[in-house]
Amino acid sequence: MPRLLLLLIVLIFSHTAFTQVVYDRNEGADVTKYTFRLSLNDSSNVISGEATIDVTFSESPEKFKLDLIGSNGEYGMKINEVREGESAANWTFEEDEVIIYPSNGASTASFTICYSGIPERGLVIDKTKFGKRSFFGDNWPTLARHWLPCVDHPYDKAAVEFQIHTPAHYDVVATGKKIEESYITTGYKLTRYYEPAPVATKVMTIGVCEFASEVLGYVDNIEISAWVYPENRLEGFSDYAVAVEVMEYFIKNIGPYSYAKLANMQAKTQWGGLENAGTIAYRESSVTGKNEVEGLIAHEIAHQWFGNSASEDSWNHVWLSEGFATYFTILYLENKYGDATRRQELVKDRREIIEYYGKNPSSVVDYSITDAMNVLSTNTYQKGGWVLNMLRHKIGDEVFWNGIRRYYVTYRNDNAVTEDFQKIMEQVYGESLEEFFRQWVYTVGYPELRTSWKYKKGKVMLKTQQVQDHFTFDFPLEIGLVYGEEIQKQTITINSRSMEFELPADTEPDNVIFDPDVWMLFKEVK
């Protein structure tokens, strides 16, 4: 296919199919606060809940909708009552949505949903690996609706308060700062946490089990703590202690932290780690006492800035969360251990990208995906991280970091899509980045490059050929002329299928290395 025609198709597709993971939004409505009152017990897995949702309206709505998975056999929630303020609300329940018809044209309203049932997902009610009963919120991406009436999409974030009634033997940690712990009746207690910063439901959580906890330290007056199973007390406190150092790095280099605390919690979770806002969950097996989870901890803490505070407005742009967390983990490790670690991590990620592409040819922003459960892939993690690595190399470290900081401060506690990030980086860089984002974010694949070289009369003669069949990439490529322990570097620009270059060289090099410092995503083809 001619390149110009393909570029036109990419442009048309990217602008007409803006979001393919469809969610029917409450237009003109903004949830400002959730208050979730939950009663948990040891006799059954039935939970009893009362959720109050405070809403601000910019226009008089005909209806307001909340997600909640209804009762269907053993699992799901039964609604017992819906109130608007102190009065009975006008409401219906259809296809796992609570549909409320507000009674007047007021600019604010408060709705309360009383419900009960057994959640099939979202709230994991299980035994820990040590056989102790536990309750863990595990909402990502759209599982909050299994146990919380809510707008279950990151576009509408809100402050949240959890009021958890439990048997007295449990310890409770949740999104926000603890504001109360009271033994209210014999054998039971109430624990309350409140987070004033707006949080998406995907990263709201609770953890209820027998914990050992320790304050690991403070950064900018933010308490950083570890919550682990008592049987793993010493190992867990040791493994999670690096969170203080990680927090210092990100606050210093990106900007202020948004949440009331940072708890690091050993948990039952379907993920290796889940970046819940201010209360991160790590898989049970993360605790070993061998301090092997520094990269995992850095990834989940990076999410507090990217994904949690600056959130994707559309699920198809989830690389703004996962790609960022992947690369900012590498940046943290590079800062601590040196550039060799950056190169090592990126070489590994590049291998995974190439292997994934062989089975799943798709782009970073993939508008063909229609289910939020399917948006995560090697593209959104590793390739998204590689996009940032190449962008950093293109515009330089100072401009890159200035752009990152401006992007964060602009979209802190807000939402963005890729076009928003691109615009911020263009403002700081002072030039268009349209071609860069089109190639690396919206186009399938990467350059597949066949190369050869020879030395002739003071020159290294290079030949390059792009052999991928769908697109011709335009990119800079660093060339390393190897002389023993020394590498002399020069940069060429590849923008055609077949190209020849002459590089000055006084003597014949021992070898020629393409991309010696690991800045470019491409596949070498023999």
Ordered DSSP codes for 507-524: S--SEEEESTT-----EE
How many whole angstroms separate alpha carbon 179 and alpha carbon 303? Answer: 25
Higher pLDDT, 243 or 186: 243
Domains of the chain listed by start with CATH number: 26-201 (2.60.40.1730), 211-304 (3.30.2010.30), 311-327+340-442 (1.10.390.10), 448-524 (2.60.40.1840)
Residues whose CB falls within 8 Å of the CB of residue 439, separated by 6 or more in sequence, listed in order: 471, 473, 474, 475
Q: What's the pLDDT score for residue 212?
A: 98
DSSP of 201-242: GGG--EEEE--EEEEEEEETTEEEEEEE-GGGHHHHHHHHTT
Q: What's the pLDDT score for residue 11?
A: 39
Q: What's the pLDDT score for residue 3?
A: 37
* Residue carrying the six token digits 């987070």: 195
With H, G, I as helix, E, B as strand and everything else as coil, classify residue 88.
strand
User: Distance between alpha carbon 196 and the CA centroid of its chain, in Å?
Assistant: 21
Q: What percent of the chain has pLDDT over 90?
A: 94
In this prediction, residues 229-234 reach a mean pLDDT of 98
pLDDT band, residue 470 (cuts 50/70/90): confident
Residues whose CB falls within 8 Å of the CB of residue 255, separated by 6 or more in sequence, listed in order: 305, 405, 408, 409, 412
User: Which pairing describes strands 279-283 and 262-267: parallel, antiparallel, or unpaired?
Assistant: parallel
Burial of 516 (0-12, 13-18, 19+ CB in 10 A): middle
| Whether the predicted pLDDT of 5 surpasses 60 | no
The dihedral built from the CA positions of residue 389, 394, 397 and 400, taken in this order, carries a sign that is negative
pLDDT band, residue 4 (cuts 50/70/90): very low
| Whether the predicted pLDDT of 12 surpasses 50 | no
The CA-to-CA distance between both ends of the chain, in Å, stands at 24
How many whole angstroms separate alpha carbon 318 and alpha carbon 376? Answer: 8
| Whether the predicted pLDDT of 18 surpasses 80 | no
pLDDT band, residue 60 (cuts 50/70/90): confident
Comparing CA positions, the residue from 346, 522, 388, 519 lying closest to residue 446 is 522
How many whole angstroms separate alpha carbon 179 and alpha carbon 183? Answer: 14
Q: What's the pLDDT score for residue 196?
A: 98
Q: What's the pLDDT score for residue 330?
A: 98
What angle (nearest 5°) sits at the alpha carbon of residue 330, between those of residues 326 and 332?
A: 115
- For residue 36, list its beta bridge partners: 51, 162
CA distances from 247 to 28, 195, 219, 300, 335 (A): 36, 19, 7, 11, 13
Q: Which of 3-17, 96-110, 221-235, 455-469 is predicted least confidently?
A: 3-17
Comparing CA positions, the residue from 109, 122, 137 lying closest to residue 67 is 122
User: Which pairing describes strands 97-100 and 64-67: parallel, antiparallel, or unpaired?
Assistant: antiparallel
As a whole number of angstroms, the longest Cα–Cα distance in the chain is: 92
DSSP 71: P
Burial of 52 (0-12, 13-18, 19+ CB in 10 A): middle
How many whole angstroms separate alpha carbon 408 and alpha carbon 196? Answer: 19
Q: What's the pLDDT score for residue 104?
A: 82
Residue 75 · residue 118 · CB < 8 Å? yes
How many whole angstroms separate alpha carbon 465 and alpha carbon 447? Answer: 9
How many whole angstroms separate alpha carbon 192 and alpha carbon 73? Answer: 32
What are the two backbone dihedrals, phi and then psi, of residue 250, each rounded to the nearest 5 degrees? Answer: -70, -40
How many whole angstroms separate alpha carbon 227 and alpha carbon 363? Answer: 38
| Whether the predicted pLDDT of 362 surpasses 70 | yes
- Return the C-alpha torsion angle 410, 412, 415, 420, nearest 10: 30
In this prediction, residues 203-223 reach a mean pLDDT of 98
DSSP of 292-312: --HHHHHHHHHTTTBTTTEEE
Q: What's the pLDDT score for residue 486?
A: 97
| Whether the predicted pLDDT of 19 surpasses 80 | no
pTM score of the predicted model: 0.95
Comparing CA positions, the residue from 51, 184, 167, 60 lying closest to residue 110 is 51
| Tens digits of residue pLDDT in 294-318 | 999 999 999 999 999 999 999 999 9
Residues whose CB falls within 8 Å of the CB of residue 4, separated by 6 or more in sequence, listed in order: none
Q: Which residues of 496-505 are buried (b: 16+ CB within 10 A; e: fewer)?
A: eeeeebebeb
* Residue carrying the six token digits 């040590």: 130
Q: Average pLDDT, whole number, for the chain?
A: 95
